[in-house]
Structure 1
């Protein structure tokens, strides 16, 4: 729990990192007034729909918020007004198959990593077949017929079943390459029995084999029919293992594969129960820019269920998400605000966000101005959830200088932003009246 004194300390620290003058002035005008404990208010019926879309590519919020505020303002969101956040997540790499950027390395990979004289027969036969059908050019792959690929895929499946580590590694790398290019190739590979053979490699002690298996499954999961096959092959828990233990690329690609599997609603609970959320939070903290975006997108989808929201809060997701909101320019601030809004739908999430200093950074996101209109809307939505049923959080909101930017947003924001800002200002007026009694 954060006390008002703690909040004052956080504000002082933030001031030295470039707080806006509007917030500073508001703080100076308010910090001398003692804020007593307000009387309990009737709880507001305010909730966030967990009904997120199952679209294969677009990510939309079916509802940002549904509920009743003060009697004078009712935040009703019409379906035609829903914010399409697919643009916010479209640059996440899960939709660009084989995103590790290693196509060229795979296309020119040595014919065998073992000495030619000791190479297993299945590798020699496989390489000869690949060389005759594919060569090293991705252009040949683009123009090849599905029929011409059938022997290659069979050879890959046989290589995955070999006792040789080299054969398995090579076969997984070739499937990874084949599955990158075309939907019909992914369908062919999915129907060939390759998926169950790839799953054990996710636990391989060979980092290259594990990485290729994770990336191959990511690429294959882009085909709708393969999602069910991958889940049915028991890949979810091994993908979580790769997410925890793999190379940086393996972790990121495992996260993307889990994201694609989470498009099937019944998989979301399983993915959460298998322990995916703590390593996703770790990726938020220590991943590359791409890894952070992938983790954000996956958490966004998984947290459509309440239990996964609770898991995300328990795993410490609030603090890194708040940190991302305070780091504009990295391409993650608005995405982080969306996920914070999802976590703020549960009491544990609201408490964790406030403890992490979320009210302060969300207020400053609203102050960012019209150039960040979409982010302002996400920020006011999260603040509305944080303060709807909490007089204490409303006090913190006032002390952080939120009233001037909220007034400005209620006058010049988008229709949805205006409505949310007006509702939040209504809560604050109600709070002031109760304290005056």
Structure 2
């Protein structure tokens, strides 16, 4: 039994399942959660090292900051196991509300943690605990948001509906980076390092309240309601996933690697390298990133439309091949230190991130049946994060220090090739019915 495209597109009796409400709820949640996540990524590149890790070497500070950055990516699969279990057992809506609360609380509290100078080694310990909490919350967010969109999508428009959670990262990043940019322009370096960097973390509490209001207004998805009526829920979704659906989980994770590597190479690593090694002013580089991420946002709907028309695999293969080639632009463009060439590098990387990321909102849910779809999509998405993002800034920092930017570019190309293998090995999912 498949979900009716007519019932999916139209509101229920209470009006809670209207397309506009579903689109906004799936978008706003990921925008807020990725805002929270990117606030930390930007802070890790700019200030976390000197505030929480008082090493004498700037490189050692950056590496320590990027270790804490990676902790959340280790936590994210745990979050996808935890929230996926309840999302497949009790429903998408309540689980999405819980994940937003965990993420928002962790982010807000980071803004209150004193630095190393105030409480010593307790400071980095608290930071790591809260960073782990961020990962847990985000691990449960994306899969539910993608299911909220795709399980309500009309026939032939699943890629388009699945695109709206994928827009969340662009908007979340723009809001995060824009706020840091405004602070960098209005505060002195001493003010920014003393208290200014905490402001974006505290703003999260207001955004989370907005997200909760929207999420509490939505209804359960038709596909999950049908699964309840057919008594198809399983007791332990993760056990069913690993025993019966391990291959699409692995392939989905491999497909995600290119997205993460492109993004965090272009943002977290490049920001750190541009400010510390190329001596580009912090506010200038943040401004360049704000411009470049607009191209990521523009690529997202274009790629989503193309995936509905031509299929998920052709769009992804095209984008991934371009990403492999983009690795060769790292040294000549980023390494030039010229703002316009650096901007071109950032635009290329983030545009391709949008191209490869957009189809994932539909593809990953399409790989799994309803009774393990929340768990499966979330686990694949977040395992890809461990492979492609958790260590990406750290590895890029090491490669830049020991081999130079050509090695960083080679790393991007190899990561994209890993995703190409995963996509080539998976089936086309465009015409899959979400039962």
TM, length-normalised to structure 1 = 0.20
Structure whose CA Rg is larger: 1
- Structure with more of its chain in helix, by fraction: 2
Q: TM-score, normalised by structure 2?
A: 0.20
